Amino acid sequence: MVGMPAADEYRRLSFWHETAPGTLEPGQPLPGDLDADVAIAGAGYTGLWTAYYLSRADPGLKIAVCERDIAGFGASGRNGGWCSALFPASLGKLERMAGRDAAIAMYRAMQATVDEVGRVTAAEGIDCHWAKGGTVQLARSATQLERAREEVAEARSFGFGEEDLRLLSAAEARDLAGASGVLGGTFTPHCAAIHPSRLARGLAEVVRRRGVSLFERTPVLRLSPGRLVTGTGMVRARYVIRATEGYTPAFPGLHRALAPVYSLMIATAPLPEEAWAEIGLAGRPTFSDLRHLIIYGQRTADGRLAFGGRGAPYHFGSAVRPSFDRVPAVFNALRRTLAELFPVLGDVKVTHGWGGPLGVPRDWCPSVGLDRSTGLGWAGGYVGDGVATTNLAGRTLAALITEADLITGTDSEITRLPWVGHRSPRWEPEPLRWLGANAGLQAMSWADREEAWSGRPSRAAQLASRFLGS
Ligand SMILES: Cc1cc2nc3c(=O)[nH]c(=O)nc-3n(C[C@H](O)[C@H](O)[C@H](O)COP(=O)(O)OP(=O)(O)OC[C@H]3O[C@@H](n4cnc5c(N)ncnc54)[C@H](O)[C@@H]3O)c2cc1C
């Protein structure tokens, strides 16, 4: 790709980048030193939603966002497009952290956030192919069915009803997603399928229109109280926000804050109507099954299947490199899994394969916060559930900043949610981090294989959750 125009290089990042409307030509970099009220590192959903809600709370604020590549370069432009109420920390875990009411409030806030994203994208004219068809999670073995029952029982014990999560019979599940070997499943309405890059690029355009200064091709070198330092100048600001998710470990002093774990995806060619007649997914519900090593898919607006999964290795020293985005063995495994789920796909053409890093905190609990004394703020650690969560993070950071400045119109209920101000422990130093994270990933895939032949819950899964802290 040497010598290729930047915009063409960015198009090749993923199916979503390739099909995003408008130019991917980078905007101007930071031209020199600048004074602002708020400086943000990273123009993924976290940085962009934060800028968006801040500019709404106070249109007079001077907000500068510095992005190393282009808006939506990272996970926000490449993900599975599940805008869902999923939160990586379970209700039980949140209850242990902060109490039952706080756990319930967190999950309710996530449900409301899905609708908030739908509302704002419609109001701002961002056509992100929004389809709120819910999520169907298939159970394709006795142990998966047992897990489906346990998930629904946990939801009930916290007061979430049929309208939030319900068990599906085999016939109901197959009606939604005509996969093989389906014994049952669960359904939640709290998810929309979206085109991720359209959301990221659309948001960037909206914040620019609102007067936010978005500097692209501007790598941030250091974040410190009152200062965001880049190669071409410094932004001096009362508030400095870190919104760099899986890329965070590259900052001095933060190499153990989050582990970048890769998720990879493939997209098929558009499928013929006869295939859709068998596969279903009418109304575009997102889908997965209840295996341990997560898989996720959506029917795209242009009639393809976009399908992904974890399983790529964690790289020593929390390294993040473009070459890690593409692992032919993982693409092949995804293709096989997809064909096994939907045999009608047979030898369907896979046209795209890509991937990217997500940020995993040691305790698998995302967090957002603002240190009022230093003005430093952060949000992240969403594991693989950031599409909606970043919106809640952006609203929360905006509320924390406006509360700190006593600007009127704050949304203080969200600033009391249990993830606000939460500090995850740091990851182990290397080589323990590399050994632990990869052993955990291996154990999850063993667990799936073992359960498939033994028909019983696997002990390897318990081992995996110990290593990965889930
Ligand atoms: C393949 C894949 C599939 C996924 N599927 C889903 C899904 O279906 N549903 C879901 O909810 N979540 C999913 N996720 C997770 C979700 O995409 C992320 O949680 C979310 O996009 C995080 O947004 P962010 O803005 O915090 O981070 P990012 O989008 O990663 O943005 C960080 C930005 O910071 C920039 N940056 C990094 N370092 C610097 C620096 N030094 N200076 C300046 N800028 C810098 C990067 O270029 C990037 O643009 C998936 C992730 C991946 C990778």
pLDDT tens, position by position, 22-40: 999 999 999 999 999 999 9
Q: Is the pLDDT of residue 445 over 90?
A: no
Residue 229 carries which side chain, given as an amino acid letter?
V
Instruction: Give the pLDDT mean for 429-443.
Output: 84
- Does residue 431 have a cis bond before it (omega within 30 degrees)? yes
- CB of 286 within 6 A of ligand 1: the answer is no
Distance 275 CA to ligand 1 centre (A): 32
Of 400, 358, 398, nearest in space to 382 by CA: 358
Alpha helices (runs of H) in 266-327, residue ranges in sequence order: 273-279
223's enclosing H/E stretch is strand 220-224
Q: Which atom, in ligand 1's list, is nearest to the CA of 298?
A: 8
The residue whose C-alpha atom lies closest to atom 19 belonging to ligand 1 is 386
Q: Is the pLDDT of residue 91 over 70?
A: yes
**Which among 129, 130, 199, 244 is the best mutation to test ligand 1's pocket, defined by most ligand atoms within 8 Å of the CB?**
244
Q: Is the pLDDT of residue 312 over 90?
A: no
- CB of 382 within 6 A of ligand 1: the answer is yes
Q: What are φ and ψ of residue 92, in 5° steps?
A: -60, -40
pLDDT recorded at residue 470: 44
**Which among 188, 358, 365 is the best mutation to test ligand 1's pocket, defined by most ligand atoms within 8 Å of the CB?**
358
Predicted confidence band at 190 (pLDDT cuts at 50, 70, 90)? very high
Q: How many CB atoms lie within 10 A of CB 104?
A: 16
Q: Is the pLDDT of residue 411 over 70?
A: no
The residue whose C-alpha atom lies closest to atom 21 belonging to ligand 1 is 76
Distance (Å, rounded) from C-alpha 198 to C-alpha 132?
16
- CB of 45 within 6 A of ligand 1: the answer is yes
The residue whose C-alpha atom lies closest to atom 50 belonging to ligand 1 is 79
- CB of 386 within 6 A of ligand 1: the answer is yes
Q: Which comes out higher in pLDDT, residue 63 or 318?
A: 63
Q: Is the pLDDT of residue 469 over 80?
A: no
Structure tokens at 71: 């808006």
Q: Which atom, in ligand 1's list, is nearest to the CA of 359?
A: 19
Q: Which atom, in ligand 1's list, is nearest to the CA of 220?
A: 42
Instruction: Give the pLDDT mean for 134-153.
Output: 96
Contact 67, 412 (CB under 8 A): no
- CB of 244 within 6 A of ligand 1: the answer is yes
Q: Which atom, in ligand 1's list, is nearest to the CA of 263?
A: 1
Distance 356 CA to ligand 1 centre (A): 8
Distance (Å, rounded) from C-alpha 149 to C-alpha 157?
12
Q: What are φ and ψ of residue 250, in 5° steps?
A: -75, -15
Distance 244 CA to ligand 1 centre (A): 7
- CB of 81 within 6 A of ligand 1: the answer is yes
Q: Is the pLDDT of residue 189 over 80?
A: yes
Q: How many CB atoms lie within 10 A of CB 463?
A: 17
Q: How far apart are the first and last CA of the chain?
A: 38
**204-257 pLDDT per residue, tens:** 999 999 999 999 999 999 999 999 999 999 999 999 999 999 999 999 999 999
Q: Would you call 13 helix, strand, or coil by DSSP?
A: coil
Q: Is the pLDDT of residue 150 over 90?
A: yes
**Which among 235, 247, 255 is the best mutation to test ligand 1's pocket, defined by most ligand atoms within 8 Å of the CB?**
247
Distance (Å, rounded) from C-alpha 360 to C-alpha 314?
11
Of 196, 137, 198, nearest in space to 166 by CA: 137
- CB of 27 within 6 A of ligand 1: the answer is no
Distance 456 CA to ligand 1 centre (A): 36
- CB of 390 within 6 A of ligand 1: the answer is yes
The residue whose C-alpha atom lies closest to atom 13 belonging to ligand 1 is 384
Q: Is the pLDDT of residue 361 over 60?
A: yes
Structure tokens at 440: 């955990």
- CB of 353 within 6 A of ligand 1: the answer is no
Q: Would you call 94 helix, strand, or coil by DSSP?
A: helix
**Which among 16, 53, 79, 197 is the best mutation to test ligand 1's pocket, defined by most ligand atoms within 8 Å of the CB?**
79
The residue whose C-alpha atom lies closest to atom 15 belonging to ligand 1 is 384
Q: What is the mean pLDDT of the chain?
A: 93
Distance 366 CA to ligand 1 centre (A): 13
Lowest average pLDDT, out of 83-92, 326-335, 392-401, 457-466, goes to 457-466
Q: Which atom, in ligand 1's list, is nearest to the CA of 200?
A: 29
pLDDT recorded at residue 465: 60
- CB of 308 within 6 A of ligand 1: the answer is yes
Structure tokens at 284: 């575009």
Task: Give how far the C-alpha of residue 358 lies from the chain's centroid of Cα atoms, to the nearest Å.
Answer: 7
